Amino acid sequence: AAERILKETIAIESDLVAWHEAEPLTGSKESAFRAAAAFERARRLAADLADAYALLFHAPAAQMGSALGLPPHMSSVFAESEVRASIPFQVSKIASLAVKALRRPAGAGPWDVLVGGRVEGAQLLSLPRLDPILLAETVKEIQRKSGGGSNGKFPNSKATSPTPIILLVNQASGDEELGPLTPLGLRAVILRHEIPHLSHLGVRARQEKVVFVTCDDPGFLASSGVEGLVG
């Protein structure tokens, strides 16, 4: 693993240096696009390193916390605090700023993917924030109006598990938990503003395998027709 990380780091550095020597990163659309891709690669590497940090610290912290009679969630908080104090966290922040600055010259859209993936047969719902109580109430209201059943299944669903849900969310602080939302059917999140990839929420999205994307252009969501699919 260490050898792979070293090779990946050298490759990213070589790409950026080579392109910058040939032409400024924003000198052309192609240069900006390639530079943005390199910074995206650096951000993914930083995320992998952050996950390794969290894995390294979580078990010892959980054991010590249990021995001291501390609440279980505190071990996760300790591991994440170590991640945020690490170099990969700072690299991720710098890479995110670079990617954002390069989007326009690269001709890229306003989307930022924290966790990629695919969700099929899902219901798109809109909420002001990531709140399990709000989501549960919204699902119940849809069932009531449509004469649906219980257990999170929508009227047209014959599955025994909850209908997959994609949430269009207005705002998030980055400290939210996704664990209480996934049993309700949450499979993906579209957030109307950016958040750091290694925020608490970003880390939880990767751990819970919830597809997570952000869009920093409110007008784009309206014009793209995404909002018209809510319901």
Known catalytic residues are 200
Among candidates 162, 211, 163, which has minimal Cα distance to 191?
Answer: 211
Instruction: Report the DSSP pairing between strands 165-169 and 211-215.
Output: unpaired
Distance CA 136, CA 35 (A): 43
Rg (CA), the chain: 20
Local structure of 198: helix, strand or coil: coil
Amino acid at site 10: I
Among candidates 197, 48, 31, 22, which has minimal Cα distance to 115?
Answer: 197
